[in-house]
Amino acid sequence: MPTSFQTRWPSLPYVLPFAVFVVFLALQQYSPLSVTIDYPLRVVILAVVLWVFSRNVIDLRCSQTLWTVLLGVAVFAIWVAPDILFPAYRQYWLFQNSMLGHLNNKVPSEVLTSPIVLWSRIIRAVVLVPILEELFWRGWLMRWIISPRFQEVKLGTYSPAAFWITAVLFASEHGGYWDVGLIAGIAYNWWMIRTKSLGDCILAHAVTNACLCWYVVATHHWEYWN
């Protein structure tokens, strides 16, 4: 992205990819395209947006690679544990209601039969989502809450308000999985404060999502992808 854009709208590289992703999710059921075209197209668009607007602020360097991977695996275990230990856990109104929506185990048949669609979902979850979400939540929002001049706030700077507001909003993004989303948000926030590294948070998030993709495909618990 040209430096002039970054100087004029410093939040843009952090916010725009996430905004595009949220719009895609909101409009997913209204797409006139078949999923075999729609899913790969969205992956391409998200990748282009990240490259054009955000490549100058993406830092994939890790300082604690082993512990970061272990954290990602731990968050995955926490994510699926309630449903494994208590199968009816998410049937309560706290997780399925008119505001949060309803979880189901149905997935379009095209996803099951098309390798292109399946791999598009996996690439989006493992490669793109960790980058665009970490840019937004921990690269931008945690700092912007501390000061609108967020560029002057170092990555991983601790503020109770920034920490908990970010964690709660991150949880709300995950609908009926808000409880484990909150734990994940706390874990990723803590890791950002501990490592001061966007790359470590991206890797932890990617590992969690990779494990979750494996679990979904292996067990056919497609509700995690709704």
More confident residue, 3 or 188: 188
Phi-psi region for residue 175, left (φ > 0), alpha (ψ -120 to 50) or beta?
A: left
pLDDT for the residue 31: 77
For residue 97, what are the β-bridge partners? 101
Nearest alpha-carbon partner for 201 in 214, 189, 219, 210: 189
Token couple for 100:
């949060």
Cβ density class 119-152: b for 16+ within 10 Å, e for less:
ebbbbbbbbbbbbbbbbbbbbbbbbbbbeeebee
- CA–CA gap between residue 191 and residue 177 (Å, rounded): 21
Q: What is the mean pLDDT of the chain?
A: 91
- CA–CA gap between residue 179 and residue 79 (Å, rounded): 9
- CA–CA gap between residue 49 and residue 43 (Å, rounded): 10
pLDDT for the residue 28: 78
Cβ density class 154-179: b for 16+ within 10 Å, e for less:
ebbbebeebbeebbebbbebbbbbbb
pLDDT for the residue 226: 66
- CA–CA gap between residue 195 and residue 154 (Å, rounded): 12
Token couple for 158:
């601790």
Q: Does pLDDT of 40 surpass 80?
A: yes
pLDDT for the residue 108: 66
Whether pTM exceeds 0.85: yes
